[in-house]
A and B are shown apart, each in its own frame.
Chain A
Amino acid sequence: MKHRATKEKLLFFLEDTLSAPEKQEVAEHLSRCTECRQLLEELRKDWALLKLDQYTENDPYFYTRLKARMEKPVTSVARRVWQPALFGVLLVLAVSLGTLVGKQFSAEPVADVRFTSELVPFDGLQEEPIEQFLLTFE
Chain B
Amino acid sequence: MDERALIRAIQNGEEQAFKQLVDNYQLLVRNTCLSFVRDRYDAEDLAQEVFMEVFRSASKFRGESKLSTWIYRIAVNKSLNFQRDHKRRNFFQSLGDALFGTEKVLEGAIAAVEEHPEQHMVNQERKERIYRAIEELPERQKIAFSLSKLDDLSYQEIAEIMQLSLSSVESLIHRAKLNLQKKLYACYKKGI
Distance in angstroms between the alpha carbons of A8 and B149 in the assembled complex: 19
Task: Verify if A108 is at the interface (C-beta below 8 Å from B).
Answer: no
Distance in angstroms between the alpha carbons of A123 and B47 in the assembled complex: 84
Distance in angstroms between the alpha carbons of A116 and B81 in the assembled complex: 62
The verdict on A63 contacting B27 (CB below 8 Å), with A42-B184, A55-B34 known, is no
Stretch from A43-51, A81-89, A128-136 that touches the partner: A43-51
Do A54 and B31 touch (CB < 8 A)?
Answer: yes
Do A63 and B23 touch (CB < 8 A)?
Answer: yes
Please tell me the number of chain B residues within 8 Å of chain A, measured between CB atoms: 31
Do B127 and A49 touch (CB < 8 A)?
Answer: yes
Do A70 and B55 touch (CB < 8 A)?
Answer: yes
The verdict on A11 contacting B30 (CB below 8 Å), with A43-B184, A66-B48 known, is no
Say what secondary structure dominates the interface of chain A: helix
Do A51 and B150 touch (CB < 8 A)?
Answer: yes
Residues of B within 8 A of A57 (CB): 27
Task: Verify if A26 is at the interface (C-beta below 8 Å from B).
Answer: no
Task: Verify if B177 is at the interface (C-beta below 8 Å from A).
Answer: yes
Task: Verify if A105 is at the interface (C-beta below 8 Å from B).
Answer: no
Chain A residue, CB-CB nearest to B15: A67
Do A55 and B129 touch (CB < 8 A)?
Answer: no
Shortest distance from the beta carbon of B86 to any chain A beta carbon, whole Å: 15
Q: State the A residues within 8 Å of B (CB).
A: 7-8, 10-12, 38-39, 42-43, 45-47, 49-59, 62-63, 65-66, 69-70
